[in-house]
Structure 1
Amino acid sequence: MHGQVRFSDGKAPGAMRTIGEVCEALGLKPHVLRYWEQQFPMLTPLKRSGGRRLYRAEDVALVSRIDKLVNEEGYTLKGARNVLEGKQPDADNATARRRPSAQKAPTDDNLLGELQAVRAKLARSLDN
């Protein structure tokens, strides 16, 4: 769902959106979007009283592009920032794109199994 992000909230396509609305439409967590604001200087939503963020249509399009670069095309944040800034990727720069093996995050089941194994090992160590 990149390019033109579709919202099902009944607002006009160019309406400002809250962080929650943007995150729901793109399947992101709010803390990820707030972090991206720190990493991508060109991402500057309006901030109202109390720090409430409002994203313009161009902000939403930029977030969608960042999401595609990072989560679909495998760029690191630095590599994605370089692409957005129009810089040529450095072939020697390992941060431009992740290696294919690093792109796949562990599933919750795998992670849970690994954590349970570590817990069991710690428990055995404490029993000795």
Structure 2
Amino acid sequence: MAKAPDAFRTISEAAEDVGVPQHVLRFWETKFAFVTPLKRAGGRRFYRPQDLAVLRGLKRLLHDEGMTIRGVQKLHRTRGIKAVAGGDVPELEVEGADVSMREPAASAAPNLSILRVALARVEAARMRMERALSA
């Protein structure tokens, strides 16, 4: 008999549902303060349906879209938990240039758009350094 849609899930059930190993869920708890399953006696984790929605969004952002951990943290700070759960990948504006919080996949060959993003990041960092040094 299957569980009801609103039933709590164990870490093994959550990991299977999201499509990642259990240790990844535990790691995400250390990196994202908003990943907070209920913990019962003995430290057993139980995930609510809204927790699973957030975990699915995290997986999409980190694994499918190639966002960085810092990028997801910033997304949460700026747009909230709904943006993370929805798996929304925003474009950021950095000194007039649109820069994604995505990182290129390790296996992907660099292309012009990735190089432009990297250049925009370097230029933004240079400008921040110049402002800090001149202050």
TM-score strictly above 0.5 = yes
TM-score (normalizing by structure 1): 0.64
After superposing on structure 2, the runs of 4+ consecutive aligned residues of structure 1 that deviate more than 6 Å are: none
**SS in structure 1 opposite 2:27?**
helix
Residue of 34, 56, 63 corresponding to 2:55: 63
**Contact 1:15-1:56 within 8 A present in 2 as well:** yes
TM-score, normalised to structure 2, is 0.61
CA RMSD of aligned residues (A): 2.4
Q: Which amino acid aligns with 1:45?
A: P
Match for 2:101 among 96, 100, 103? 96
Give me the whole-angstrom Cα distance separating, in 1, the residues matched to 2:25 and 2:64.
Answer: 16
1:11 aligns with 2:16: no
Match of 2:40 in 1: 48
Q: Does 1:33 align with 2:25?
A: yes
Aligned partners of 1:39 and 1:103: how far apart in 2? 24
| Gap runs ≥5 in structure 2 | 80-89, 109-135
SS of residue paired to 2:78: coil
SS at match of 1:54: strand
Q: Is the 8 A contact 1:22 1:60 kept in 2?
A: yes
Sequence identity percentage: 39
Contact 2:39 2:46 in 1 (8 A): yes
User: Which structure 1 residue ranges, 5 or more long, are not aligned?
Assistant: 1-8, 105-128
Give the count of matched residue pairs: 94
Decide whether the 8 Å contact of 1:74 with 1:98 is kept in 2. Answer: yes
